[in-house]
Amino acid sequence: MPGTSRMPVSLRESFNSVRRSRPGTANPLHALSLDLVRNIVFFLFLVRWTRRVFWKLKGRGLLGTVAELYRDIRRVLYGYFLRMPGVRTQVRKQVDEAVAKLEIKMVPADRTRYLTLPKEPWSEDAIRKELDALANMDHTRWEDGYVSGAVYHGEDDLIRLQTEAYGKFTVANPIHPDVFPGVRKMEAEVVSMVLALFNAPPGAAGASTSGGTDSILLACLAARQKAAAERGVTEPEMIIPETAHTAFRKAAEYFKIKLHVVACPAPTYQVDVRRVSRLINSNTVLLVGSAPNFPHGIIDDISALSKLALRRHIPLHVDCCLGSFLVPFLAAAGFPTVPFDFRLRGVTSISCDTHKYGFAPKGNSTILYRSAALRAHQYFIDPSWSGGVYASPGMSGSRPGALIAACWASLMAVGEPGYLAATTALVGAARALADRIRDHPPLAAELEVLGTPLVSVLAFRARSLNVYDVADAMAAKGWHLNALQNPPAIHVAVTMPVAKAWERLAADLEAVVEAEREKERARAVAGKKSRGEAVGDSAALYGVAGSLPNKSVVVDLARGFLDLCYKA
Ligand SMILES: *Cc1c(COP(=O)(O)O)cnc(C)c1O
């Protein structure tokens, strides 16, 4: 701390001033100590705020700081506006209407609802029949490749094997390794296989978790605990690319880590490493890069982040949740690739989702650490609980051994050749789709692929159309693509089902772009500025509500959506 050396001077001065100003005080020692305490408190306060202002200006620059302040003020003022009596009721009414519309779609009223336990148990046949009906409820057809992401494999053979593995371990819980030794063995082996895939050095360690978010939360927690234990950091900060998965923002909120979000500007859409560097200070506990990120499928410059992390002695997490089992196979499949794993010495932890391109059933992911010592920072151990000495590796207590068995079975069944073939097929399809958008006249004229995606996800934006209208028109044709914001765009995550359907996707996209451009032309001829026809869901959500300086209306809508998920 630069200010520490000045402390004695300040103390001496306060001592002298007390002596000078109060020569005849009855109890000089008393006055002295009071003054002293006041001075020390004030001094610490000053150091703390000077340091904060300095870090802020260094991290964001003067212009950036002013811009941030301006945005904050606008957000707060707009928040007040939204809460004004007349405005508030109007907003409430519109949000309620939107949620009511959503309810009609999400919670169809034509089915019998079972809200309490049956008075008589159902027969197995009755349950089977109802389960079939539930599985066949009207849904977006992932089976035919209409859904971006979501179901990464979905072939019958693998599902059958997974179900069998699950069935053998339905009651298993790895919290009791003596009762279910087979599950302990499989779990350790899954972690070992993933460590090997990411070229982990000797001494590396990992854990399995319930999903990517879980893995990321644990990586952030471990980094925070490590900094607290080794450097006494009590006000932890973390620096993430703005395209990093929102699980990092969740971790910041849950674990009280101050978050710095760094821009990922065009044309590469990779995180700006120089800006990351400027934001580092003595409270920084973790840097983050994605390989690739969810929105644009872009791999950050992990080599540069690794160098920075090494130079500043700060842990670096690589989020490979999405890249999972594809990124490690890019080179072998003959595609261009970049360094992303433990071979970069600055990389200290990696999250990899076995339940994405590892093709395991949902509820499986792994978190890998360069050392077992780092992993120990995510452990929770309570030696004094009245329930006995308690130790758990992560956030859950009891965990489903059945899912671990199904994960292990998936990895063993697909094996190296299977993942290599999947990489060839999926990345091949994503690249073909990207090429079609870049080179094929009807699409190339209107759409633009963001950056240079190397894996299975590509995002594109529209040049003259409202891209959310394109998303809504694609939805009307049965496609479930992902709408993105900042900048407005759409992405497609190519999965096994999508890989089989990508040409149909490209053809529909062409038709939609043509139709939307035709509509634009008609509108221009009619001289209408505002749009007469109904606005689609994405356009409504990201168009008006999304562009407001304060997104509390969007938050209200999202809360309504979550409530609906639990409406029986
Ligand atoms: C899917 C994903 C995650 C986390 O996913 P879960 O839904 O929690 O499994 C994290 N990072 C990226 C880049 C992802 O795509």
3-state secondary structure 244-281: CCCHHHHHHHHHCCEEEEECCCCCCCCCCHHHHHHHCC
Assess whether the C-beta atom of 456 lies below 6 angstroms from ligand 1.
no
Is any ligand 1 atom within 6 A of the Cβ of residue 319?
A: yes
| 115-131 pLDDT per residue, tens | 999 999 999 999 999 99
Closest atom of ligand 1 to CA, residue 244: 13
> What residue has token string 């590469």?
268
Per-residue pLDDT reduced to its tens digit, 54-69: 999 999 999 999 999 9
Q: For ligand 1, is residue 289 a contact (CB within 6 Å)?
A: no
Residues of the chain within CATH 3.90.1150.10 domain(s) are 416-565
How confident is residue 8, by pLDDT bands cut at 50, 70 and 90? Answer: very low
For residue 214, the ligand 1 atom closest to its alpha carbon is 8
Q: Which of 151, 213, 355, 455 gets mutated to test ligand 1 (max ligand atoms within 8 A of its CB)?
A: 213
Stretch 502-516: mean pLDDT: 94
Write out pLDDT tens, residues 288-320.
Answer: 999 999 999 999 999 999 999 999 999 999 999
* CB of 294 shorter than 6 A to ligand 1: yes
Q: Are strands 258-262 and 482-484 parallel, antiparallel or unpaired?
A: unpaired
- Ligand 1 contact via 290 beta carbon (within 6 Å): yes
Q: What is the pTM of this model?
A: 0.90
What's the CA gap between 44 and 36, in Å, rounded? 12
pLDDT in tens, 221-270: 999 999 999 999 999 999 999 999 999 999 999 999 999 999 999 999 99
CB distance 212 to ligand 1 below 6 Å: yes
Q: How far apart are CA 428 and CA 198, in angstroms?
A: 22
Tell me how far apart the alpha carbons of residues 16 and 10 are, in angstroms, rounded to a whole number: 10
CATH number of 416-565: 3.90.1150.10
pLDDT at 10: 46
Q: What is the pLDDT of residue 546?
A: 66
Alpha carbon 342 to its chain centroid, in Å, reads 21
- Rounded to the nearest integer, the mean pLDDT of the chain is 91
Is residue 497 exposed (0-12), middle (13-18) or buried (19+ Cβ within 10 Å)? buried
Q: Determine if ligand 1 sits within 6 Å of the CB of residue 467.
A: no
